[in-house]
């Protein structure tokens, strides 16, 4: 498993949070009391997602951000 730095202000953080949520729903939404089992389960999840080219459809555009956050602009 590899961890990469993700800036807090980037939309990449949202994508990472979505992927972690998918992993929680599919794989880890139960108590796993054994570290080796946790590693095995998360690796199987990652391998499956990678082998099947699973992607997140990111549709939030700059225009969407401008509209949603316009009340915060000066």
**28-45 residue pLDDT tens:** 889 999 999 999 999 999
Q: How is 5-36 classified by DSSP, letter by letter?
A: ---TTSHHHHHHHHHHHHHIIIIISS----HH
> Residue 3 pLDDT > 90, yes or no?
no
Q: What is the DSSP letter of 52?
A: T
pTM of the complete model: 0.60
CA angle in degrees (0–180, nearest 5) for 51-7-42 = 30
Phi, psi of 59 (to 5 degrees): -110, 0
């Amino acid at each position: 498993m590899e961890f990469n730095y993700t800036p807090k202000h980037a939309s990449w953080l949202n994508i990472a949070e979505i992927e972690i949520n998918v992993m929680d729903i599919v794989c880890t939404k139960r108590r796993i009391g054994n570290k080796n089992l946790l590693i095995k389960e998360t690796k199987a999840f990652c391998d499956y997602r990678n082998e099947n080219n699973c992607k997140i459809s990111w549709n939030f555009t700059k225009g969407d951000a401008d509209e949603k956050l316009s009340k915060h602009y000066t």
